[in-house]
Amino acid sequence: MVRYKEKGRSGVSNKIFFGFLFTVLTLYVICLLIPLVWGLYTSFKSPNDWMINEVWPSLNITFENYVSAFSSMYVQVGQTYFYTHHLLMNSFFYALGSAIVGGFVTCITAYMVAKFNYKFSKIVYAVVVITMTIPIIGNLPSMIEITTKIGLFDKMWGMWIVNGAWYGMFFLVFHATFRSVAGDYAEAASVDGASNFVVLFEIMIPLVKNTLAMAILLGFIGYWNDYQTPMIFLQSRPTIAFGMYLLSTDPRVPFETVRITGGMLTILPILIIFLFAKNKVMGNLTLGGIKG
Protein backbone atom coordinates (compact mmCIF):
# COMPACT_ATOMS: atom_id res chain seq x y z
CA MET A 1 0.00 0.00 0.00
CA VAL A 2 1.20 3.47 -0.86
CA ARG A 3 1.20 5.79 2.13
CA TYR A 4 0.65 9.53 2.08
CA LYS A 5 2.65 12.27 3.65
CA GLU A 6 1.62 12.68 7.25
CA LYS A 7 3.02 16.19 7.72
CA GLY A 8 2.47 19.47 5.92
CA ARG A 9 -0.61 20.76 4.13
CA SER A 10 -1.43 17.55 2.32
CA GLY A 11 -1.04 15.65 5.61
CA VAL A 12 -3.71 17.85 7.22
CA SER A 13 -6.06 17.52 4.23
CA ASN A 14 -5.63 13.73 4.35
CA LYS A 15 -6.55 13.68 8.02
CA ILE A 16 -9.66 15.78 7.32
CA PHE A 17 -10.61 13.67 4.28
CA PHE A 18 -10.23 10.29 5.94
CA GLY A 19 -11.65 11.64 9.23
CA PHE A 20 -14.77 12.76 7.33
CA LEU A 21 -15.11 9.37 5.66
CA PHE A 22 -14.63 7.64 8.99
CA THR A 23 -17.45 9.74 10.50
CA VAL A 24 -19.85 9.00 7.61
CA LEU A 25 -19.01 5.29 7.75
CA THR A 26 -19.57 5.25 11.51
CA LEU A 27 -22.99 6.87 11.04
CA TYR A 28 -23.78 4.25 8.39
CA VAL A 29 -22.78 1.43 10.75
CA ILE A 30 -24.97 2.90 13.49
CA CYS A 31 -27.95 3.05 11.09
CA LEU A 32 -27.32 -0.56 10.08
CA LEU A 33 -26.72 -1.98 13.51
CA ILE A 34 -29.56 -0.29 15.41
CA PRO A 35 -32.30 -2.46 13.85
CA LEU A 36 -30.21 -5.62 14.15
CA VAL A 37 -28.97 -5.14 17.71
CA TRP A 38 -32.34 -3.84 18.89
CA GLY A 39 -34.07 -6.79 17.18
CA LEU A 40 -31.63 -9.24 18.75
CA TYR A 41 -32.09 -8.10 22.35
CA THR A 42 -35.83 -7.66 21.87
CA SER A 43 -36.03 -11.31 20.80
CA PHE A 44 -34.82 -12.27 24.30
CA LYS A 45 -37.35 -10.00 26.01
CA SER A 46 -40.61 -11.34 27.44
CA PRO A 47 -43.83 -9.83 26.04
CA ASN A 48 -44.49 -8.23 29.46
CA ASP A 49 -41.10 -6.55 29.50
CA TRP A 50 -41.75 -5.35 25.94
CA MET A 51 -45.01 -3.70 27.07
CA ILE A 52 -43.14 -1.78 29.77
CA ASN A 53 -39.98 -0.98 27.89
CA GLU A 54 -39.62 -1.10 24.11
CA VAL A 55 -36.31 0.75 23.95
CA TRP A 56 -33.70 -0.92 26.13
CA PRO A 57 -32.74 -4.55 26.74
CA SER A 58 -34.30 -6.39 29.64
CA LEU A 59 -32.30 -8.10 32.36
CA ASN A 60 -34.73 -11.02 32.35
CA ILE A 61 -33.50 -12.96 29.36
CA THR A 62 -36.03 -15.43 28.03
CA PHE A 63 -36.21 -17.84 25.12
CA GLU A 64 -39.99 -18.04 25.08
CA ASN A 65 -40.19 -15.89 21.93
CA TYR A 66 -38.08 -18.43 20.06
CA VAL A 67 -40.38 -21.22 21.20
CA SER A 68 -43.44 -19.17 20.19
CA ALA A 69 -41.91 -18.14 16.85
CA PHE A 70 -41.15 -21.77 16.10
CA SER A 71 -44.74 -22.77 16.76
CA SER A 72 -46.50 -19.66 15.36
CA MET A 73 -44.68 -19.55 12.06
CA TYR A 74 -46.57 -21.76 9.70
CA VAL A 75 -47.92 -21.65 6.18
CA GLN A 76 -51.13 -23.34 5.21
CA VAL A 77 -51.26 -24.79 1.70
CA GLY A 78 -54.64 -26.39 1.07
CA GLN A 79 -55.09 -28.81 3.94
CA THR A 80 -51.37 -29.08 4.68
CA TYR A 81 -49.60 -27.07 7.38
CA PHE A 82 -45.92 -26.29 7.01
CA TYR A 83 -44.33 -25.44 10.37
CA THR A 84 -40.99 -23.78 10.99
CA HIS A 85 -38.89 -26.94 10.65
CA HIS A 86 -40.64 -27.77 7.34
CA LEU A 87 -40.06 -24.23 6.13
CA LEU A 88 -36.38 -24.40 7.12
CA MET A 89 -35.99 -27.72 5.28
CA ASN A 90 -37.75 -26.36 2.17
CA SER A 91 -35.52 -23.29 2.24
CA PHE A 92 -32.44 -25.44 2.62
CA PHE A 93 -33.25 -27.71 -0.33
CA TYR A 94 -34.49 -24.84 -2.48
CA ALA A 95 -31.40 -22.71 -1.85
CA LEU A 96 -28.84 -25.53 -1.99
CA GLY A 97 -30.21 -27.19 -5.14
CA SER A 98 -30.60 -23.90 -6.99
CA ALA A 99 -27.14 -22.68 -5.96
CA ILE A 100 -25.38 -25.94 -6.91
CA VAL A 101 -27.15 -26.33 -10.26
CA GLY A 102 -26.64 -22.64 -11.10
CA GLY A 103 -23.00 -22.64 -9.97
CA PHE A 104 -21.98 -25.78 -11.88
CA VAL A 105 -23.88 -24.98 -15.07
CA THR A 106 -22.37 -21.49 -15.15
CA CYS A 107 -18.87 -22.80 -14.41
CA ILE A 108 -18.99 -25.60 -17.00
CA THR A 109 -20.51 -23.41 -19.71
CA ALA A 110 -17.88 -20.74 -19.09
CA TYR A 111 -15.16 -23.41 -19.33
CA MET A 112 -16.50 -24.72 -22.64
CA VAL A 113 -16.71 -21.21 -24.09
CA ALA A 114 -13.30 -20.15 -22.77
CA LYS A 115 -11.31 -23.25 -23.71
CA PHE A 116 -12.91 -24.52 -26.92
CA ASN A 117 -12.13 -22.04 -29.60
CA TYR A 118 -15.10 -22.69 -31.86
CA LYS A 119 -17.04 -19.96 -33.61
CA PHE A 120 -20.07 -20.99 -31.59
CA SER A 121 -18.20 -20.15 -28.37
CA LYS A 122 -17.66 -16.61 -29.62
CA ILE A 123 -21.36 -16.34 -30.46
CA VAL A 124 -22.31 -17.60 -26.97
CA TYR A 125 -20.00 -15.05 -25.34
CA ALA A 126 -21.46 -12.24 -27.45
CA VAL A 127 -25.01 -13.36 -26.64
CA VAL A 128 -24.25 -13.31 -22.89
CA VAL A 129 -22.86 -9.78 -23.10
CA ILE A 130 -25.86 -8.63 -25.14
CA THR A 131 -28.41 -10.20 -22.77
CA MET A 132 -26.68 -8.50 -19.87
CA THR A 133 -26.83 -5.13 -21.64
CA ILE A 134 -30.43 -5.31 -22.83
CA PRO A 135 -32.86 -4.87 -19.96
CA ILE A 136 -35.97 -6.98 -20.49
CA ILE A 137 -38.72 -6.10 -18.08
CA GLY A 138 -42.01 -7.67 -17.11
CA ASN A 139 -41.64 -11.18 -18.52
CA LEU A 140 -42.77 -12.78 -15.24
CA PRO A 141 -46.28 -13.72 -16.52
CA SER A 142 -44.71 -15.38 -19.56
CA MET A 143 -42.23 -17.22 -17.32
CA ILE A 144 -45.12 -18.54 -15.21
CA GLU A 145 -46.89 -19.74 -18.37
CA ILE A 146 -43.85 -21.49 -19.82
CA THR A 147 -42.80 -23.19 -16.58
CA THR A 148 -46.39 -24.37 -16.10
CA LYS A 149 -46.54 -25.74 -19.65
CA ILE A 150 -43.32 -27.73 -19.34
CA GLY A 151 -44.18 -29.04 -15.88
CA LEU A 152 -41.55 -27.22 -13.81
CA PHE A 153 -43.98 -24.93 -12.00
CA ASP A 154 -44.43 -25.61 -8.28
CA LYS A 155 -41.82 -28.37 -8.15
CA MET A 156 -38.64 -28.25 -6.10
CA TRP A 157 -36.50 -29.84 -8.84
CA GLY A 158 -38.22 -27.62 -11.36
CA MET A 159 -37.05 -24.58 -9.43
CA TRP A 160 -33.48 -25.90 -9.39
CA ILE A 161 -33.63 -25.94 -13.18
CA VAL A 162 -35.43 -22.61 -13.53
CA ASN A 163 -32.93 -20.89 -11.21
CA GLY A 164 -29.97 -22.28 -13.15
CA ALA A 165 -29.62 -19.23 -15.40
CA TRP A 166 -25.97 -19.27 -16.43
CA TYR A 167 -25.78 -16.10 -18.52
CA GLY A 168 -25.09 -13.65 -15.72
CA MET A 169 -22.20 -11.90 -14.07
CA PHE A 170 -20.62 -15.10 -12.76
CA PHE A 171 -20.35 -16.42 -16.32
CA LEU A 172 -17.99 -13.53 -17.08
CA VAL A 173 -16.08 -14.13 -13.83
CA PHE A 174 -15.62 -17.86 -14.61
CA HIS A 175 -14.81 -17.12 -18.24
CA ALA A 176 -12.06 -14.68 -17.26
CA THR A 177 -10.75 -17.12 -14.65
CA PHE A 178 -10.56 -20.03 -17.11
CA ARG A 179 -8.90 -17.79 -19.68
CA SER A 180 -6.23 -16.87 -17.15
CA VAL A 181 -5.63 -20.48 -16.06
CA ALA A 182 -2.71 -21.94 -18.02
CA GLY A 183 -3.66 -24.90 -20.20
CA ASP A 184 -0.47 -26.87 -19.31
CA TYR A 185 -2.10 -29.22 -16.80
CA ALA A 186 -4.98 -29.99 -19.11
CA GLU A 187 -2.63 -30.56 -22.06
CA ALA A 188 -0.37 -32.86 -20.03
CA ALA A 189 -3.40 -34.86 -18.90
CA SER A 190 -4.67 -35.09 -22.49
CA VAL A 191 -1.29 -36.43 -23.67
CA ASP A 192 -1.48 -39.04 -20.90
CA GLY A 193 -4.79 -40.15 -22.33
CA ALA A 194 -7.23 -38.33 -20.02
CA SER A 195 -10.63 -37.76 -21.56
CA ASN A 196 -12.25 -34.33 -21.79
CA PHE A 197 -14.52 -35.25 -18.87
CA VAL A 198 -11.52 -36.10 -16.68
CA VAL A 199 -9.77 -32.88 -17.67
CA LEU A 200 -12.86 -30.85 -16.82
CA PHE A 201 -13.91 -32.48 -13.57
CA GLU A 202 -10.54 -33.53 -12.14
CA ILE A 203 -8.28 -30.73 -13.32
CA MET A 204 -10.09 -27.59 -14.40
CA ILE A 205 -12.92 -27.43 -11.85
CA PRO A 206 -10.55 -28.02 -8.89
CA LEU A 207 -8.42 -25.17 -10.25
CA VAL A 208 -11.36 -22.75 -9.95
CA LYS A 209 -12.86 -24.27 -6.81
CA ASN A 210 -12.58 -20.98 -4.87
CA THR A 211 -14.57 -19.08 -7.47
CA LEU A 212 -17.09 -21.91 -7.68
CA ALA A 213 -17.44 -22.02 -3.89
CA MET A 214 -18.03 -18.27 -3.87
CA ALA A 215 -20.67 -18.54 -6.62
CA ILE A 216 -22.47 -21.35 -4.79
CA LEU A 217 -22.29 -19.58 -1.41
CA LEU A 218 -23.61 -16.29 -2.77
CA GLY A 219 -26.27 -18.21 -4.69
CA PHE A 220 -27.30 -20.09 -1.54
CA ILE A 221 -27.57 -16.85 0.44
CA GLY A 222 -29.57 -15.17 -2.32
CA TYR A 223 -32.03 -18.05 -2.69
CA TRP A 224 -32.39 -18.44 1.08
CA ASN A 225 -33.36 -14.78 1.41
CA ASP A 226 -35.60 -14.65 -1.66
CA TYR A 227 -39.25 -14.91 -0.71
CA GLN A 228 -40.83 -13.55 -3.89
CA THR A 229 -39.77 -16.31 -6.32
CA PRO A 230 -40.97 -19.21 -4.10
CA MET A 231 -44.12 -17.20 -3.33
CA ILE A 232 -45.02 -17.35 -7.02
CA PHE A 233 -43.28 -20.46 -8.36
CA LEU A 234 -43.20 -22.84 -5.38
CA GLN A 235 -46.50 -22.39 -3.64
CA SER A 236 -46.85 -25.96 -2.38
CA ARG A 237 -43.37 -25.99 -0.78
CA PRO A 238 -43.21 -22.66 1.12
CA THR A 239 -39.84 -21.47 2.41
CA ILE A 240 -38.84 -19.83 5.68
CA ALA A 241 -38.47 -16.43 3.99
CA PHE A 242 -42.05 -16.65 2.72
CA GLY A 243 -43.19 -17.88 6.16
CA MET A 244 -41.55 -14.83 7.67
CA TYR A 245 -43.29 -12.59 5.15
CA LEU A 246 -46.65 -14.04 6.23
CA LEU A 247 -45.71 -13.84 9.92
CA SER A 248 -44.82 -10.17 9.54
CA THR A 249 -48.34 -9.38 8.37
CA ASP A 250 -50.33 -12.04 10.24
CA PRO A 251 -52.76 -10.36 12.67
CA ARG A 252 -53.16 -13.62 14.62
CA VAL A 253 -49.60 -13.38 16.01
CA PRO A 254 -50.19 -12.26 19.63
CA PHE A 255 -46.95 -10.43 20.38
CA GLU A 256 -44.66 -8.20 18.38
CA THR A 257 -41.68 -9.84 20.07
CA VAL A 258 -42.60 -13.09 18.32
CA ARG A 259 -42.50 -11.40 14.91
CA ILE A 260 -39.12 -9.83 15.69
CA THR A 261 -37.83 -13.21 16.87
CA GLY A 262 -39.07 -14.84 13.66
CA GLY A 263 -36.88 -12.37 11.75
CA MET A 264 -33.86 -13.20 13.90
CA LEU A 265 -34.53 -16.90 13.36
CA THR A 266 -34.52 -16.42 9.59
CA ILE A 267 -31.24 -14.52 9.41
CA LEU A 268 -29.41 -16.69 11.95
CA PRO A 269 -28.30 -19.47 9.52
CA ILE A 270 -27.04 -16.90 7.03
CA LEU A 271 -25.16 -14.99 9.73
CA ILE A 272 -23.47 -18.23 10.84
CA ILE A 273 -22.46 -19.07 7.24
CA PHE A 274 -21.20 -15.52 6.78
CA LEU A 275 -19.10 -15.58 9.96
CA PHE A 276 -17.45 -18.88 8.97
CA ALA A 277 -16.96 -18.12 5.28
CA LYS A 278 -16.57 -14.34 5.43
CA ASN A 279 -13.43 -14.22 3.31
CA LYS A 280 -14.80 -16.60 0.73
CA VAL A 281 -18.10 -14.74 0.41
CA MET A 282 -16.36 -11.38 0.20
CA GLY A 283 -13.61 -12.62 -2.14
CA ASN A 284 -11.99 -10.03 -4.29
CA LEU A 285 -14.62 -10.16 -6.99
CA THR A 286 -13.68 -8.77 -10.35
CA LEU A 287 -14.84 -9.35 -13.87
CA GLY A 288 -11.21 -10.11 -14.65
CA GLY A 289 -11.22 -13.08 -12.32
CA ILE A 290 -10.75 -13.60 -8.62
CA LYS A 291 -7.74 -12.05 -6.99
CA GLY A 292 -5.99 -12.57 -3.68
Partner 1 sequence: MAKKGVRTKRGIKADNEERPNAITAAGAKVKGFLKDGIYGCKVAVHNAFSRNKKAKATSMSSKAKKDMIFYVLMMAYPVLYFLLFYVAVNINSLSLAFKNYDIDASGRHYAIWAGFNNFKNIFNEYTSSTLLKNALANSFIVYLVGLLAVPLGLLFSFYIVKKAFGHEFFKVMLFLPSILSSLILVIMFKYVVERLYPAIMQEYFGREVQGLLADPNTRFGTLLFYNIVFSFGTSVLIYSSAMDRIPDPILESARIEGVSGIQEFWYITLPLIFPTISTFLIVGVAGIFTNQFNLFSVYGAAPPSPNMYTLGYYLFAETAYANELSYPRLSAFGILFTAVAVPLTFCVRFLLEKFSTKGAEF
- 117 to 146, contacts with partner 1 by CB under 8 A? 118, 120, 124, 127, 131-146
Q: Which stretch in 36-44, 67-75, 79-87, 204-212 sits in contact with partner 1 by CB under 8 A?
A: 36-44
Count of residues in contact with partner 1, rule CB under 8 A: 93
Binding to partner 1, residues 84-113 (CB under 8 A) = 105, 108-109, 112
CA separation for the pair 128, 130 (Å, rounded): 5
CA-based nearest residue to 262, from 72, 63, 22: 72
Longest dimension (CA), the chain: 76
**Residue 116 beta carbon to partner 1: minimum distance, rounded to whole angstroms:** 5
Q: Give me the helix-helix angle, 169-180 and 84-115, nearest 10°.
A: 50
Counting every residue written for the chain, the total comes to 292
Q: Is 35 in the site for partner 1 (CB under 8 A)?
A: yes
Q: Which is nearer to partner 1, 79 or 133 (CB)?
A: 133
Q: Which is nearer to partner 1, 77 or 127 (CB)?
A: 127
Q: Which is nearer to partner 1, 88 or 221 (CB)?
A: 221
Q: Which stretch in 57-65, 68-76, 164-172, 204-212 sits in contact with partner 1 by CB under 8 A?
A: 164-172
Binding to partner 1, residues 220-279 (CB under 8 A) = 221, 224-225, 227-228, 231-232, 241, 244-245, 248-249, 256, 259-260, 263, 266-267, 270-271, 274, 278
Sequence-ordered alpha helix ranges (H) in the chain? 8-43, 47-52, 64-72, 84-115, 119-133, 140-149, 156-162, 169-180, 184-191, 196-198, 205-207, 209-225, 228-233, 240-249, 256-276, 278-281
**Residue 55 beta carbon to partner 1: minimum distance, rounded to whole angstroms:** 5
- β-bridge mates for residue 91, sequence order: none
- Angle at the Cα of 160 (from 100 to 278), degrees rounded to 5? 35
Q: Residues with Cβ < 8 Å from 84, sequence gap 6 or more?
A: 69, 70, 71, 73, 74, 240, 243, 265
**Residue 94 beta carbon to partner 1: minimum distance, rounded to whole angstroms:** 14
**Residue 276 beta carbon to partner 1: minimum distance, rounded to whole angstroms:** 12
Q: Which is nearer to partner 1, 237 or 266 (CB)?
A: 266
Binding to partner 1, residues 3-22 (CB under 8 A) = 3-5, 10, 13-14, 17-18, 21-22
Q: Which is nearer to partner 1, 105 or 156 (CB)?
A: 105
Q: Which is nearer to partner 1, 89 or 281 (CB)?
A: 281
Q: 173 to each of 133, 207, 210, 276, how far by Cα in Å?
A: 16, 14, 12, 23
Report the residue from 66, 82, 160, 166 that binds partner 1 according to the rule CB under 8 A. 166
The radius of gyration computed from the CA coordinates of the chain, to the nearest angstrom, equals 24
Report the residue from 96, 205, 213, 285 that binds partner 1 according to the rule CB under 8 A. 285
Task: Please give the distance of CA 255 from its chain centroid, rounded to a whole number.
Answer: 30
Report the residue from 89, 92, 196, 203 that binds partner 1 according to the rule CB under 8 A. 196
Q: 168 and 108 in contact (C-beta within 8 Å)?
A: no
CA-based nearest residue to 217, from 281, 292, 145: 281
